[in-house]
Structure 1
Amino acid sequence: ICMDQCMVDVGKNSSVKRWDKAILFGCREDGALQTADDIARLTDTISYEITTVLTRRVPRLYVD
């Protein structure tokens, strides 16, 4: 993690390209849901820490 940026290793054989959309937590287009709790478990922390470190520079999209 670098200030308010992060890097994700998508592997050598990935079809991901620059400017592809990435959903860190929420509901993906295929219906799969990843929560801040899920990410916290993977990174050995708490969900509060995951959600409070996002600065204003990170775009947000709120959906009802």
Structure 2
Amino acid sequence: MADSTHLEEQIAHLTRTVEELSDIVARQETELALAQRRLAMLMEREAGREMDAGGTVPLADQKPPHW
């Protein structure tokens, strides 16, 4: 009996840990999506500023010289 009780306790602990980790991953996914949207907006703004400043192709749209 003690063996099965120990296993049940261990399973309960592991289940709780998995649920907590799942919540953390879900929160991080939301935060990452928000950060990606903000980065895209900032890149668009900067590209617009570069176009307004010199009328050249924004550096963000140019391939590096090694390509």
Higher share of residues assigned helix:
2
Q: Which has the higher contact order (CA 8 A, sep 6+)?
A: 1
Please state which band the TM-score falls in when normalised by the shorter chain. Answer: under 0.3
Higher gyration radius (CA) = 2
TM-score w.r.t. structure 2 length?
0.22
Higher share of residues assigned strand:
1
